[in-house]
Chain A
Amino acid sequence: MAATQKADIRTLLGAGADEDRLAVSHFLIGAGFLVGGGLLQALAIFTLRFDDLLPIGYGLLEAMANLTLVLGFAVISLLGGVYYVLPRLTGARLWGADLARLALLALTGLVLAGDLVLVLGLGSGRQPFGLDWWASIPIALVLFLPAGVTIGTLRNRRETRSFVTLWFVIGGVIWLPMLFLAHLIGELPVVGAVTASVSELFLSAGVLTMVIITLGTGLVYYTVVKELDIPLASRQLGIVGFWSLGFAGVWWGLAQTVFGPGPDWIAGVVAALGLAFPIGALINAANVSMTLEGHWDEMGDRPGVASGVYGLYFAVTVAVMASFASFPTIGSVTALTTYWEAIEYAILLGAGSLLVAGTTFEALPRAAGRRLPTSDRARTFNRLTIVGVGGVLVSLAAAGLVTGYSWLGGSNTAAFQDAGDTWAVGAGAAGVLTLVAVGFAIVTVLGQFAYASVVAGTIFSGKVVAQDLLVADGDEDE
């Protein structure tokens, strides 16, 4: 009896190869973290407007939301996509599947433990995750495991030709642990406060651009070509887009403290190199658009393709806004305001979650051997995410501009002398806009529930379908 139940559970968690079950586990856990993290993020925005209504302040809520959404949702889900495509693109079994499984368990545990550490007030306050070095080091070490699995699989590859998705996968999994190591450098006692702050922004921007957008974009290339069975428009454009995203990764993060105590020349570098972000995002969106030429009408029946395409164009929009604010003249208004909060929110929960969904909606039926319960719910996720995140992006960015201009107008000076607290004066109109953002954040959360229901519904109650089964002649990973 016990053996039968175990077999049933294994079937529920994926009916194909070991790699596919692993991918499905990642998608399922990632969906759970999306719901939890989305609620935390909405509460964080709520505390921006009503700081005294919750027992936990914005600082802790934001760190918890970042940890849960970035590592728990985005990274875990995208790693599921990586494990899904690697065997299919290399012709080799996943090397070190046990290591990948260990990484999933460890990462899940570390995210939950990290949230607990933050709630207990044991964090360091270092953005974006607020964790002290003793909590960050295990995470960094665990993040090397997926890189090892990827490289090991590539070394065993039987297919000598690389589809462009592989480039994005390689970059994303390599840069992920390196970003965490760079962040840990800020903990060293010999490092000054400015460098420590820069290392925080380095990780904040880097993990969103160099990992989430990069991995998500690469996986969408795979989704579009495979779902619609059409050739990729240009491999070269894809590769240029990949390197642009890698090169663009961190500059918009440093732009957030323009005119700060860092060296003056960094502002010029940030403005110039920051242009790589919209260029990279636009190249990838254009490449996929050219690929879809003549097939746009098929997007309606393919929620995964639709999610991916929406995600790519969301990334373009946000990248343009980030690049725009990276110029010192604009940055003097937008720096330190909710404008950048809007950018980070939109990259993570807009472009990021749509790109993740682009992979999940395509891979899940094949990996789990079950159909999506209904395409409508997947489309609902797309709609609610675009409306919700778009609304938050516009309202928080506008709130940031209002605040920034109010500072320029002098409310930050005279009022300061009188009341000591000027930000509320400057944020009068911004406060209303922040309230609007709270409403849109709730819409986003509803979309996240839709996403989770699609994932869970597919795995546990989706109609069984014929599926691809990976079969290996040998067990290279054993």
Chain B
Amino acid sequence: MVTKMSETLSAAAAALGLPEAIVERSAAARAEETGMSVDEVLAAWAGGKTVETPASSAAEPEAPAPEAPEEDTAGAPEETAAPPASAAIIDVPPAPTRAPAPVAAASGKPPTLIGSSDRPMTVVMASIGLFLAVFMIAVVGSSTAQDEPGARTSHVDYSAAGENGRDLYASLGCAACHTQMVRPIVSDVGLGPVTLSDMNQIPGSRRFGPDLSGVANRMSGAQIGAVVGGFGGHGTTSLSTGELDDLVTYLMETAGVTE
């Protein structure tokens, strides 16, 4: 008996092209749901047959149910036959009760996938095209910003220490909470001169802490250093003395202050 089942299992596994362990497990579960014996299920599979399942089975139809008829598919040949048998589903589900049953589901053949005939590669190319268009407007377009030339600049020529401080400012994630961007609106009145598009600071996009573009006009270098070190509720940082000096230098040079 065991030998016979083993042979049936091997035959079913060979017919399905799957490991025996997987086929055996699936057959046992299928048998439990249908009330058949495991051997009967395996025999059916080995013979290329399918096993019907009750409507409440956990196994669901493989293919989505058909969509409502589409007007735009009029020009496309509507397929009613199953596609080539490149993939097959065993444990074929019951026919849908509300929607017309896909041919594949009813016959045990591969699923008929419902939709319109189209060319996915066209969607690929169109997606790339859409992305490039959005990119050109958003990123490249923003590079074209030009302010009145010569009148004023927001570009700062940093010293070596200032450059190092700028790198520290970036790597510490300071821009996650602080802006260096003064906007021409009421909210930013008092923060300093409006930031122009030629700026080379780190503008940031959140202001959970104060704007720092002019902080050196309000606080001394020592005060800034104290805040960075954790004074006044600010988070602590593990900077060396030299790094802290560089960071302060960056903020002071940004504000145009020299000490």
Is A158 within 8 A of B64, CB to CB? no
Residues of B within 8 A of A63 (CB): 173, 176
Residues of A within 8 A of B148 (CB): none
Contacts A231-B65, A262-B197, A332-B185 known; A472 to B87 CB distance under 8 Å? Answer: yes
Nearest chain A residue, comparing its CB with the CB of B90: A469
Asked if B43 lies at the interface with its beta carbon under 8 angstroms from chain A, I say: no
0/1 interface trace, chain B 192-236, chain A, CB 8 Å (1 if under):
000111111111111111100001001100010000001011111
Asked if A395 lies at the interface with its beta carbon under 8 angstroms from chain B, I say: no
Select the stretch in A27-35, A51-59, A447-455 that faces chain B. Answer: A51-59
Residues of A within 8 A of B151 (CB): none
Complex CA distance for A191 and B143, rounded to whole angstroms: 8
Residues of B within 8 A of A249 (CB): 134
Asked if B130 lies at the interface with its beta carbon under 8 angstroms from chain A, I say: yes
Complex CA distance for A125 and B165, rounded to whole angstroms: 13
Which of B18, B66, B118, B190 is A162 in contact with, Cβ under 8 Å?
Answer: B118
Is B232 within 8 A of A199, CB to CB? no
Is A260 within 8 A of B91, CB to CB? no
Complex CA distance for A7 and B22, rounded to whole angstroms: 9
Residues of A within 8 A of B218 (CB): 416-417, 420
Among residues 295 to 315 in chain A, which have CB atoms less than 8 Å away from a CB atom of chain B? none
Is A161 within 8 A of B113, CB to CB? yes
Is B142 within 8 A of A266, CB to CB? yes
Residues of A within 8 A of B131 (CB): 174-175, 178, 210, 246
Is B169 within 8 A of A259, CB to CB? no
Contacts A154-B120, A259-B185, A340-B206 known; A125 to B174 CB distance under 8 Å? Answer: yes
Is B137 within 8 A of A466, CB to CB? no
Complex CA distance for A278 and B190, rounded to whole angstroms: 36
Is B135 within 8 A of A127, CB to CB? no
0/1 interface trace, chain A 325-357, chain B, CB 8 Å (1 if under):
000000011011110110000000000000000
Residues of B within 8 A of A413 (CB): 189-191
Nearest chain B residue, comparing its CB with the CB of A121: B171
* Distance (whole angstroms) from the CB of A408 to the closest CB of chain B: 5
Nearest chain B residue, comparing its CB with the CB of A365: B58
Asked if B186 lies at the interface with its beta carbon under 8 angstroms from chain A, I say: yes
Complex CA distance for A474 and B189, rounded to whole angstroms: 70
* Distance (whole angstroms) from the CB of B22 to the closest CB of chain A: 5
Range class of the A interface residue count: 35 or more
Residues of B within 8 A of A472 (CB): 17, 86-88
* Distance (whole angstroms) from the CB of B59 to the closest CB of chain A: 5
Among residues 214 to 262 in chain A, which have CB atoms less than 8 Å away from a CB atom of chain B? 222, 225-227, 229-236, 243, 246-247, 249-251, 254, 256-257, 259-262
0/1 interface trace, chain B 49-64, chain A, CB 8 Å (1 if under):
0000100011111111
Select the stretch in B1-9, B95-103, B245-253 that faces chain A. Answer: B95-103
Residues of B within 8 A of A178 (CB): 128, 131, 135
Among residues 458 to 474 in chain A, which have CB atoms less than 8 Å away from a CB atom of chain B? 464-474
Asked if A93 lies at the interface with its beta carbon under 8 angstroms from chain B, I say: yes
* Distance (whole angstroms) from the CB of A122 to the closest CB of chain B: 7
Residues of A within 8 A of B79 (CB): 160-161
Is A341 within 8 A of B145, CB to CB? no
Complex CA distance for A201 and B205, rounded to whole angstroms: 8
Which of A47, A88, A371, A417 is B235 in contact with, Cβ under 8 Å?
Answer: A47
Among residues 137 to 182 in chain B, which have CB atoms less than 8 Å away from a CB atom of chain A? 137-139, 141-146, 154, 169-177, 179, 181
Select the stretch in A71-79, A106-114, A164-172 that faces chain B. Answer: A164-172
Nearest chain A residue, comparing its CB with the CB of B105: A229
Which of B53, B189, B195, B206 is A261 in contact with, Cβ under 8 Å?
Answer: B195
Complex CA distance for A470 and B90, rounded to whole angstroms: 8
Residues of A within 8 A of B16 (CB): 469, 471
Asked if B127 lies at the interface with its beta carbon under 8 angstroms from chain A, I say: yes
Nearest chain A residue, comparing its CB with the CB of B208: A48
Residues of B within 8 A of A98 (CB): none
Residues of B within 8 A of A251 (CB): 138
Is A160 within 8 A of B83, CB to CB? yes
Is B145 within 8 A of A194, CB to CB? yes
Is A226 within 8 A of B169, CB to CB? no
Residue of B32, B86, B110, B188 with highest tally of chain A CB at under 10 A = B86
Complex CA distance for A253 and B111, rounded to whole angstroms: 41
Is A202 within 8 A of B135, CB to CB? yes
Contacts A15-B26, A121-B172, A235-B67 known; A229 to B61 CB distance under 8 Å? Answer: yes
Is B91 within 8 A of A467, CB to CB? yes
Contacts A58-B177, A170-B124, A197-B203 known; A158 to B89 CB distance under 8 Å? Answer: no
Is A126 within 8 A of B170, CB to CB? yes
Residues of A within 8 A of B208 (CB): 48, 58, 338, 423
Residues of A within 8 A of B83 (CB): 91, 158-160
Residues of B within 8 A of A194 (CB): 142-143, 145, 197, 199, 203
What 7 pairs between A and B have smallest CB-CB spacing? A59-B173, A413-B190, A59-B176, A125-B170, A407-B187, A225-B64, A420-B218
User: CB within 8 Å of B: which residues of A?
Assistant: 7, 10-11, 15-17, 47-48, 51-52, 54-55, 57-60, 62-63, 87-93, 121-127, 130, 151, 154-155, 157-167, 170-171, 174-175, 178, 182, 185, 191-195, 197-202, 210, 222, 225-227, 229-236, 243, 246-247, 249-251, 254, 256-257, 259-263, 265-266, 269, 332-333, 335-338, 340-341, 365-366, 369, 371, 404, 407-408, 410, 412-414, 416-417, 420-424, 464-474, 476
A sample of 13 cross-chain residue pairs with beta-carbon separation below 8 angstroms, ordered by A number, consists of A125-B174, A154-B120, A163-B67, A167-B123, A192-B198, A192-B199, A195-B143, A261-B195, A269-B141, A336-B179, A404-B187, A420-B215, A472-B86
